[in-house]
Structure 1
Amino acid sequence: MAGSCTILIIFSFLFSTVTTATTVNTITPGQSIRDGESTVVSRGQAFELGFFTPGKSRNRYVGIWYKKLSGKVSDRTVIWVANRDTPLSDSSGVLTITQKGFLVLLNSTNGTVWSSTVSKIANNPVAELLESGNLVVKVAKKDDNADNFLWQSFDYPGDNLLPGMKLGVNLVTGLNRYMSSWRGTDDPAHGDFKYMIDPHGVPQLVLTKGNTIQFRAGSWNGLRWTGVPQLRENPVYRFEFVLNQNEVFYRFNVTNSSVPSRMVLSPSGVTGRLTWIDRSQSWQPFSRFSGLTLDQCDNYALCGAYASCNINMNTPSCECLEGFKPKFPDEWSNLDWSNGCVRRTELDCKNGDGFLKHKGAKLPDTRSSRINKNISLLECEKLCSKDCSCTAYANSDIRGSGCLLWFDELVDIRALTENQQDLYVRMAASELASIERRRQSRKKKLVIIIVTSILLAMAMGVLILGWILYLRKKKLKNQGKGNEEMDLPIFDWATIANATCNFSNNNKLGEGGFGPVYKVTLLICK
């Protein structure tokens, strides 16, 4: 019996040493993180790196999750995964760092499952998980200058974008930092959707499914993406957009670092911003926008070229820009707008074209556009006029500066009711004259309608006022009659008998249907 207890105690000790994980702050050559034995924790313990199994999956992955917000293992909020497309089938994984600074994930046969890259060879490399959630490889332990990192996980986002992470392209090295969805809630492999900045032409934010654009947030207008009016200053986070010769990127930072906030891209392509609420111990949406879930007009190029989508219109939602007509009227009438619209009058650049102003627009796709931040709107118009291939222009900054020029068909326009921006579309001079005549005609009709409506309203007002005065006068008259009746004197029986000499026949005047009638005398009766 005693021997059995000893065996049980020894077994329990062995089990506890295997299942209880130790934590470290960094990984250096010669150290390793083994599945189930150890993890890496940031200095302030905000984040943790280790092995995990997502949901109902049986595969093992190396990932980073919020440590302080994690209750049960199944509730972990994983924000980055190393071996997304190469999972481990068992718990034999080992993460280590080489003498040259490569992070390497090995399986049970010491085969490389995943490895990082380095910008240069390091002599004394160290891997550290920063309090921001960024896993970095650097030369010295205390060197936190991002420019000196040999490698960092922030350069390879997953389905989450954390404060301080860049979403964009390094135009020198070609490094493209974009969000990519999981294949499923239990599978972190690269899914169908990407949320990224397209650097072609004038950079813009897009959501793609495969190689197809699903939603276009648009170019940056100085304050926000032109197609996302919901993005505005708020007390939770601050955002910035940078475009120069070296890079283009968007990022945000929280105003209060104690309130976790992140952007996430779901397996179905829905993007949203989540904020941690301590009271409910859960992530709550701060804002939500995507090309698949907002409304019909968010579907990329729904109306085709030279057409605008207006969700506030009754069906159909698409209409050709003024001066254009449906390319295929039969398709258009059947609510197939994909082929868009064509000009009613072809351009005649040599003899002079003009521009038609469209108010309150989500600016068109800018992949075939150019930008000049240093000229005015008037100079922008002149620049577009001189180039016969220029189809439209607008201020690049919604506050009234800079120049944005288009050199192709205008696609993916929609009407906006807030954060409006004006678009100037090139038109033939004869078409502009025709449009002006139609507008003047509509204005005259509108004036006639308004004047007629005002006169009718005034006439109705006079009639109603007259009717009210008549009813009031009638009511007052009826009230006057009632008051006169109430003012008749009332006498008691003795007074009446005395005034008629006790109903003497000498005072009787006659009789009617209601009885005898007596005269009243003020003299003393005899």
Structure 2
Amino acid sequence: MNSTTKCFAMNIILLNFLPILPSSTSIAIGSIKPNQPMRDGDVLLSSTKIFALGFFRPANSHNRYVGVWYNKVPNQTIVWVANRDNPIIPVTDNNASGVGLLAVHGNGGLVIYGKDQNTPLWSANVSVSSPYNSMTAKLLDTGNLVLLEEDNGLSQRVLWQGFDHPTNTILPFMKLGLDRRSKLNWFLTSWKSQDDPGIGNWSYRIDPSGVPQAFLYKGQAPRWRAGSWIGERWSGVPKVTNVIYNVSFVNNQDEFSIMYMMSESIFSRIVLGESGTIVPSIWHDQGQQWVKYWSAPEEECDEYGKCGVNSNCDSSNMGEFECTCLPGYEPKSPRDWYLRDGSGGCVRKSGVSICGNGDGFVKVARVKVPDSSKARVNMNLSWKACQQECLRNCSCKAYAKADERWGGFGCVTWHGDLMDTRAFSNAGQDLYVRVDAIVLAKYAKSNGSLSKKGKLAISLVSVLVFLLLVVPISYWLVRRKRKGKQRQNKYSPRVTTRSTYFEDSTAELDESSMHSDIPFFDLTTIAAATDNFSLANKLGKGGFGSVYKVVVFE
């Protein structure tokens, strides 16, 4: 028999000699020690009795589980489960309790036994070099079940903790993210059903690649995205004004994590439901109920990639199609778009060049910025430098502030398709999308805001239009007035060629216009003078139509 086998055998013998308490006995205890296990019916309380740990069964199940719940909330609210996929199955339906045992043990540190106390159903799987009789399990006032190594009654170090293995609930001081040293991944998984706390199909976890962001997955497929982290919250999560809490955000070589903290006097939780819904809530003492302050996903635009790439989803478009293309883009399939199917997304408008040809950026206000898992981030760039950095790189499609605090700082740039952008009224941030010169001018005109270069360009065009249209027409009118006075001299007509300007129009003249001092010509005369609107006589196009050179008979 090897040393490992000997150790295991000795531990089993020690366990079998533990005192057997009647299952009907219920004891409130403060810790679990090697010679003091907790049996089904006993309750382990935190020091201020905020949380309790014990055996429970879901409403419509006979199976038994070890879990943590709020001790001071009347309706049992489970916040953590140990043996969620390995329940204690009762001997008979009429004997659904009294057979479970939670013990501190050398074989795994902390173990759960059913009726067979030789084979554990669940283990904390802790490898301990020191004697296991120095270990103690306690429940902290945060709801965290911890296994401690003690020396003469003094805690030395934490060997294992329940907060490293979240189930379906985030509590204050519980982390979500990744411990890069130990490879621990802190994330939520849903229950299979209200009657089965086993691991379900939904998970809520942090993706640290690119710009960190939170995802809700069904299996391996993303179904909702909380957006990127912008300093105090996720960009796709609304600001919560009636809930006071602090957030700890860590992103370094050892750890990436987010944790929210709240006063112990306020009971709060964030639950991933069996149907795939994230629901934060607070216990309301007066109403004796949990009150949610937001939830997701709720709207159609919450669905990940609802409108495909390079699009913007807006649920406030009442009665209209919620999908629109981002500036400079058009539907990839106009037919599908017409049929209200935006999954194919949008593509850059044909024939458009967006590199060094007067291109710029159009602001798309208050949106959940695109999926940033492949975006680039530079926290040292100023806001103006961020724009210039994106403009210099032809592959850069959009940019935004990395952090919204203190007026905003840092730079995030996207260099591929823009996926999962959606509009908000009370959340989000501003996104700047790269467009060509034509689209830039269009948006500048519609928004009434132009850059200095844009204003200078319009001024030059206005002067040019004045010189080309107003001056020649004025000159022509003066000449016509002089000719009217000279009509009495009946000279033989001679033909001269002169550049003058007419705009082709099909508008009819009313009767009052016939008495104006300005001469009018019928369509036949104009057609003859322009050689039937020949392209050879076309000089250009003005604000009201085409401009032609004509032949005038004097």
Q: Give TM-score, length-normalised by structure 1.
A: 0.73
User: 3-state DSSP class of the match of 2:402?
Assistant: coil
Contact 1:119–1:151 (Cα < 8 Å) also in 2: no
Q: Deviations over 1:318-369 (max 9, x none)?
A: 1111211100111111111011000014545476853333222211101111
**2: CA distance, partners of 1:355 / 1:441:** 14
Question: Higher mean Cα deviation, 407-416 or 323-332?
Answer: 407-416
Give, in angstroms, the shift of residue 418 of structure 1: 3.1
SS of the aligned residue for 2:307 comes to coil
Please give the residue correspondences for 1:232-381 in structure 2 after superposition, counting only pairs within 5 Å: 232-255=240-263, 257-285=264-292, 287-291=293-297, 293=298, 295-314=299-318, 315-344=320-349, 345-347=351-353, 349=355, 353-381=359-387
Compared with structure 1, are the counterparts of its residues 114 and 271 closer, same or farther at alpha carbon in structure 2 (3 Å cutoff)?
A: same
Q: Following the alignment from structure 2 to structure 1, what is the Cα–Cα distance between the partners of residues 442 and 129?
A: 71
Whether the 8 Å CA contact 2:189–2:272 is kept in 1: the answer is yes
Q: After superposition, give the CA deviation of every residue in 1:445-503 in whole Å (9 maximum; x if it has no partner).
A: xxxxxxxxxxxxxxxxxxxxxxxxxxxxxxxxxxxxxxxxxxxxxxxxxxxxxxxxxxx
Q: Which residue of structure 1 aligns with residue 122 of structure 2? A: 114
2:453 match: none
Residue 395, structure 1, aligned to residue 401, structure 2: yes
Structure 2 partner of 1:465: none
- Indicate conservation of the 8 Å contact 1:101/1:121, yes or no: no
Residue 198 of structure 1 aligns with an amino acid whose one-letter code is D
Q: Distance in 2 between matches of 1:163 and 1:107?
A: 32
One-letter amino acid matched to 1:164? F
Matched letter for residue 83 of structure 1: N
1:34 and 1:441 mapped to 2: Cα distance? 72
Of 376-385 and 213-222, more deviation after overlay is shown by: 376-385
Residue range with higher mean Cα deviation, 115-124 or 127-136: 115-124
Q: Does structure 1 residue 94 correspond to structure 2 residue 98?
A: no
Deviation, 1:385, is 3.3
Say if 1:224 and 1:232, in contact at 8 Å, map to a contact too: no
> How many Å separate the matches in 1 of 2:190 and 2:425?
31
In the alignment, does 2:144 pair up with 1:134? yes
Change (3 A) 1:248 1:232: farther
- CA change 1:96–1:159 in 2 (3 A) is same
The question of 1:196 aligning with 2:205 is answered yes
The structure number with the bigger radius of gyration is 1
Question: Which AA in structure 1 matches 2:114?
Answer: N
1:20 matched residue in structure 2: 25
Q: Counterparts of 2:447 and 2:227 in 1: how far apart (Å)?
A: 33
Judged with a 3 Å threshold, the aligned counterparts in structure 2 of structure 1 residues 31 and 434 are, in CA distance, closer, same or farther, namely: closer
Q: Distance in 1 between matches of 2:442 and 2:361?
A: 15
Specify every segment of 5 or more residues in structure 1 that has no aligned partner in the other structure, as ranges. Answer: 1-15, 445-526
Greater Cα shift, 332-341 or 263-272: 263-272
Cα 1:443–1:370 shift into 2, 3 Å: closer
In structure 2, the residue corresponding to 1:283 is in which secondary structure? Answer: strand
Which letter does structure 2 place at the counterpart of 1:93?
G
Q: Secondary structure at the match of 1:273?
A: strand
TM-aligned CA distance change 1:149 to 1:278, over 3 Å = same
Cα distance in 1 between the residues matched to 2:428 and 2:87: 48
Deviation at 1:29, TM superposition (A): 1.9
Q: 1:39 to 1:437 in 2, by over 3 A?
A: closer
Give how far 1:439 is off.
Answer: 4.7
**CA–CA separation in structure 2 for the residues paired with 1:153 and 1:176:** 13
The match for 2:93 is none
Cα distance in 2 for partners of 1:364, 1:442 equals 23
Displacement of 1:408 = 2.0
State how far apart, in whole Å, the 2-side matches of 1:330 and 1:56 are. 50
Distance in 1 between residues matched to 2:176 and 2:281, nearest whole Å: 17
- The structural deviation recorded for 1:225 is 0.9
Q: Quick one: distance in 2 between partners of 1:438 and 1:53?
A: 61
1:409 deviation in Å? 0.8
* Contact kept in structure 1, 2:169 and 2:269, CA below 8 Å: yes
1:52 aligns with 2:49: no
Paired residues, number:
414
Moved more, 133-142 or 403-412: 133-142
SS of the residue 1:149 aligns to: strand
Secondary structure of the equivalent of 1:381? Answer: helix
Normalised to the residue count of structure 2, the TM-score between the two structures is: 0.70
The aligned residue for residue 417 of structure 2 is 409
Q: Is the 8 A contact 1:99 1:122 kept in 2?
A: no
The superposition leaves residues 39-90 of structure 1 with CA deviations (integer Å, 9 ceiling, x where unpaired) of 32211122221111111101111111122224xxxx3111111111111111
The question of 1:64 aligning with 2:68 is answered yes
Measured in 1, the distance between the counterparts of 2:442 and 2:105 equals 76
Identity %: 40
RMSD: 2.4
- Give unpaired runs (5+ residues) of structure 2: 1-20, 91-96, 450-554
Deviation at 1:267, TM superposition (A): 0.9
**Per-residue Cα deviation, 1:120-142 (whole angstroms, up to 9, x for no partner):** 64442211111111000111287
Q: Distance in 2 between matches of 1:296 and 1:367?
A: 22
